[in-house]
Amino acid sequence: MSNREKINEKKLPVHIAIIMDGNGRWAKQKGMARIIGHQNGVDAVRDTVEASAELGIKFLTLYAFSTENWNRPRYEIDALMELLVSALKKELKTMTDNNIRLLAVGDLKSLPDKCNRELNEVMELTKQNTRMSLVLALSYSSRWEITEAARKVSEDVRTGKISPDKLDENMFRSYFSSSHIPDPELLIRTSGEHRISNFLLWQIAYAELYFTPKLWPDFRREDLYEAIVDYQNRERRFGKVSEQIIS
Ligand code: IPE
Ligand code: IPE
Ligand code: MG
């Protein structure tokens, strides 16, 4: 039985988040420049996006550029921003054909104008699509998102809009740039690194973590199916004991 056949479609995660890592190493292994790895990463994105939509996943979040990635060499940053613009242009068809809505989280105003314009255009053109939301995390870090939320909460307390004793988890969460997106049940990281790198720290409190040694440009739908099968074989207890879990 293939992994695709093993997937229980009634128990799909609603939201899958992916840390797409290993583009640079993929290129290096082949004696090529890092940017070639990023370019080939776009094929992995397309296949993963299409497969997720076909399966019935409602939200797919891809970590595409972190706050810390601004510390990379200038030429790599510029190449990544160019690639983002060209990939958005090219993949608009994938999104329209598959009824996919594009969303973005992160400090978007720090992106070059050209990226922001393209991003806004594609988000506008796909906003009515209902099959799946593809969320790009761009210039994103979880500490940035949490700090921003804390700043906005403080401002609302200062102006009397909210009272500090009314603040609970749900209210705090509503201040996140990703507040309209449910928490991911499954987080995948490629490239064999076992770390979170400042991604969705709050939202993954109870996510199942899945690590694969595959480098991102080699990741394909079969790898996604494998991760989902693994996820479906786990018991999610949320602090309870096994006997309390009704499956
Ligand atoms: C992930 O691949 C893409 C981004 C972070 C933009 P990397 O560029 O981090 O590739 P490695 O980890 O150096 O191999
Ligand atoms: C995480 O990958 C960020 C993205 C995939 C966009 P990095 O390559 O930047 O993470 P570290 O530096 O290995 O932790
Ligand atoms: Mg990396």
For range 21-48, the mean pLDDT: 98
pLDDT over 80 (residue 43)? yes
Q: Which residues line ligand 1 (CB under 6 A)?
A: 20-25, 65, 69, 80, 191, 216
Q: How far is CA 89 from CA 35, 93, 106, 138, in A?
A: 18, 8, 20, 16
17: tokens are 């988040």
Locate the DSSP E strands across 141-221.
186-189, 208-211
33 Cα: distance to centroid of ligand 1 (angstroms): 12
> Distance between CA 218 and CA 229 in Å, rounded?
19
Give residue 125 CA to ligand 1 midpoint distance, Å.
Answer: 29
**Residue 132 region by backbone torsions, left for phi larger than 0, else alpha for psi between -120 and 50, else beta:** beta
116 is an active site residue:
no
Could you give the CA distance from residue 205 to residue 100 in angstroms, rounded to a whole number?
A: 27
Q: Does 98 have pLDDT greater than 70? A: yes
Name the one residue in this structure whose structure tokens are 């790599």.
Answer: 76
The 10s digit of each residue's pLDDT in 179-211 is 999 999 999 999 999 999 999 999 999 999 999
All domains in the chain, ordered by first residue? 10-140+184-232 (3.40.1180.10)
Could you tell me the distance, in angstroms and rounded to a whole number, from the CA of residue 41 to the centre of ligand 1? Answer: 10
Rounded to the nearest 10 degrees, how much is the dihedral formed by the CA atoms of 140, 142, 145, 151? -140
pLDDT score of 247 more than 80: no
pLDDT at residue 167, as a whole number? 96
What SS3 class is residue 38? helix
Q: What is the pLDDT of residues 124-182, one digit of tens each?
A: 999 999 999 999 999 999 999 999 999 999 999 999 999 999 999 999 999 998 899 99
- Of the residues 3, 69, 98, 116, which is catalytic? 69
Which residue, 185, 123, 177, 180, is CA-closest to 148?
177
For 54, which DSSP code? Answer: H
